[in-house]
Amino acid sequence: MDLSSSILEIKGIGKKIAEKLNKASVFTVEDLLYTLPIRYEDGSVLKDFVHADFDKPATYFVRLVEKKPRRYLKKGLSMQTFVISDGARKGEMTFFNMPYLDRSLKVGEDYYIFGKPKFFRNRLSFSAPKFFDEAKQKEALAVSPVYPVLGGVGQKATARFIQEALRDVFIPPVVPRYLRMRYGLMTEAEALKVLHGPKQLNDAKVALQSLIFSEFLCFQLALGRFHQSKSEAGFSMEKTDLAEVILSKLPFELTEGQKEAWKDIQQDMASPNRMERLVQGDVGSGKTVLAFLAMATCVASGHQALFMAPTEILAKQHYEEAFDLFMPLGVRVELLTGSTKESKKKIIRENFESGICDVIIGTHALFNEDLKSDRIGLTITDEQHRFGVMQREALQEKQSKSDRLIMTATPIPRSLGIVMYGNTKISSIRTMPKGRKAVQTTVINESGLKGAYDFMERFLKSGQQIYVVCPLIEENPDFPLHAAEAVYKYFSEDRFKNYSVGLIHGALSSEEKNAVMEAFQKNEVQILISTTVIEVGVNVVNANLLFVYDADRFGLATLHQLRGRVGRGDQAAYCILHSANDSLKADERLRIMERSNDGFYIAEEDMKLRGGGDFFGTRQSGTVEFRVGDLFENMDIMRYAKVEADAILEGGHLNANEEPDLLKAVEAYEARTRGI
């Protein structure tokens, strides 16, 4: 068995389970092994009641001294309390809806329990601790990984499958030996073994760093290889008359930041060298119009342009806007997404090849299309940070001489820009269109919820609409977080039953998503509950309140991005960030959002706070998504990876003779991050 084998080869995984795992995008042994624990439960810390730790879960060795009768609370909820003793003091543990415990737990027996006690009615009280029979001491005192629930496969089963796979799989070392020596890293095989079953938590740290280095090295090599393969030469496109017409038709004047960026783009496009430019600017800073101006310049100079947006909704929005601007000028714009009919696609393809069509706006479906034209002069990626870097590269490959413009609403600090974009030039828009109001942001905890709902109600009464964002779709016993489906039920059947509530999430088909979005746009839906799938810039001017549940679970970049959806009209706009996390650090992070509406400032502050931060923090920095690493938290590793990747490429060492395993891994990386 190797990493690319199907999960069906793993003992215990049959068709049914494989189907479930597929739903969570786990297809190969590699996918499964790289499903890393989200955290560990460290059972090795043994405590007694006097030294109880109220902040951290620990193991307690206790005797069951009394069973209290089971109690029935409201609908379908039963509760049972057991009195326990650590030899010196008494305490209790409580379980909900686990009636079978009444029989399986026995008075007079000893158990290891693992949990975080509270002080309740003068006693230590554990709510639903994990427990082990005395005979299972070894298991009880181990460090055990906790996995996410994968497409309905429970985490215990996941742990078992992973151990099975680890026993049989062959994992070649990717990072060359001299680099492992230099940085004190484990091989990928060792690292995976440790991460899935560490003897102590500290081992897991080194193991994780080893995997991150491996991932970043492949990333940097893939990026470097691509840049090497590209020509410096490009087209010289300098006819700006069409762009001038568009400028004169706009109902506004460009802001200072837009003007500067436009000047940069014009210069780059006019030059005979290939343009390689990133425009970064907050949501609402007006990047789209720059894309249109570049498109106009490209078309006026006799070339064709491709514009890729991260979602269908956004592509359609861009298309409609572009259509209105370009049609009267005789420029033919087409929309091509995954849901475009095959027959229509064919026509667009032909029209593009024959030159009848000048511009195609679309989603990633664009680079699956075999578009043949040697007149493509410009590719634009409205990245909204959603595409992996390599996906953008793939679009570029359509025409290696064409200019490239990337737009992102996730400003990254300068220091990061250098490692992530290499030679790409960056224009930053730091001004906002006139009249744009700051979104008033408030952080609330659990006890603030009621007040927040009241505020929402008043808001709805005034005729305005609300976005609600949840971190999960379905409820999950391992994460006591607000799930979109549960919130939808509560809102639509109870708290806001007099209003129309809509639900949208990643598991819906794009038709379903579009239907809900359209209803929201038409104000037929007043409250839109979603996961972050729709974080991209949809424009609903009447929606001026954003409510985020468990905001501490999101990266600040994502929150900032989400917040950009409100405050697009004349009304005052609000953002309420809920968090049940009472750690100081989590609070400090969210307070940055209260303080500022400037994405650049937020990114810098976020990085300061995170620097070397949580071991297993949110692995979602809001920028490029890596499988293991986090760009913000592991920036140092990324720097080293870049230095080493550059050295390997400069020396020409990435070949089948010198580094066969590394080469294979880089190729696999390219395929994986490009594959749709």
Nearer to Mg ion, 153 or 406 (CB): 406
Applying CB under 6 A, among 287, 364, 404, 505 the residue interacting with ligand ADP is: 287
Applying CB under 6 A, among 57, 115, 197, 286 the residue interacting with ligand ADP is: 286
Q: Beta-carbon neighbour count of residue 54 at 10 Å?
A: 9
Buried/exposed code over 511-520 (b: 16+ C-beta within 10 A; e: otherwise)? eebbebbebb
Nearer to Mg ion, 13 or 293 (CB): 293
Nearer to ligand ADP, 310 or 471 (CB): 310
Nearer to ligand ADP, 325 or 443 (CB): 325
Per CB under 6 A, which region of 89-97, 196-204, 284-292, 613-621 contacts ligand ADP? Answer: 284-292
Tell me the closest approach of the beta carbon of residue 254 to ligand ADP, in angstroms: 5
537 binds Mg ion (CB under 5 A): yes
310 binds ligand ADP (CB under 6 A): no
Per CB under 6 A, which region of 19-27, 87-95, 248-256, 345-353 contacts ligand ADP? Answer: 248-256
Beta strand 130-133 with 110-115 is antiparallel
Tell me the closest approach of the beta carbon of residue 606 to ligand ADP, in angstroms: 19
247 binds ligand ADP (CB under 6 A): no
Bridge partners, residue 90, by sequence: 85
Applying CB under 6 A, among 198, 224, 281, 567 the residue interacting with ligand ADP is: 281
For 436, the 3-state DSSP assignment is coil
**Per-residue DSSP letters for 99-163?**
TTHHHHS-TT-EEEEEE--EEETTEEEEES-EEEEGGGHHHHTSEEEEPPPBTTB-HHHHHHHHH
Per CB under 6 A, which region of 286-294, 326-334, 586-594, 664-672 contacts ligand ADP? Answer: 286-294
Provide the strand spans (E) within 216-351.
276-281, 304-308, 333-336
Beta strand 276-281 with 425-429 is parallel
Buried/exposed code over 453-476 (b: 16+ C-beta within 10 A; e: otherwise)? eebbeebbeeebbbbbbbbbbeee
Per CB under 6 A, which region of 127-135, 277-285, 364-372, 570-578 contacts ligand ADP? Answer: 277-285
537 binds ligand ADP (CB under 6 A): yes
Per CB under 6 A, which region of 252-260, 265-273, 419-427, 516-524 contacts ligand ADP? Answer: 252-260
CB within 8 Å of 24: residues ≥ 6 apart: 150, 151, 153
Tell me the closest approach of the beta carbon of residue 279 to ligand ADP, in angstroms: 9
Q: For residues 400, 406, 411 and 412, what is the CA-based torsion angle, rounded to 10 degrees? A: -10
With CB under 6 A as the rule, give the number of residues binding ligand ADP: 15
Q: Which helix (H) or strand (E) holds 252?
A: none
The pair phi, psi for residue 438, each rounded to 5°, is -70, 145
471 binds Mg ion (CB under 5 A): no
Q: CB nearest Mg ion: which residue?
A: 537
Applying CB under 6 A, among 258, 280, 402, 579 the residue interacting with ligand ADP is: 258
Nearer to ligand ADP, 203 or 282 (CB): 282
Q: How far is CA 157 from CA 149, 150, 203, in A?
A: 10, 10, 24
> What is the spatial distance between Cα 77 and Cα 176, in angstroms, rounded to a whole number?
56
CB within 8 Å of 369: residues ≥ 6 apart: 336, 345, 349
Applying CB under 6 A, among 105, 409, 503, 635 the residue interacting with ligand ADP is: 409
Which of Mg ion, ligand ADP, none has residue 622 at its interface (CB below 5 to 8 Å by kind)? Answer: none
Residues of this chain that interact with ligand ADP (CB under 6 A) are 252, 254-255, 258, 281, 283-289, 409, 433, 537
Residues of this chain that interact with Mg ion (CB under 5 A) are 537
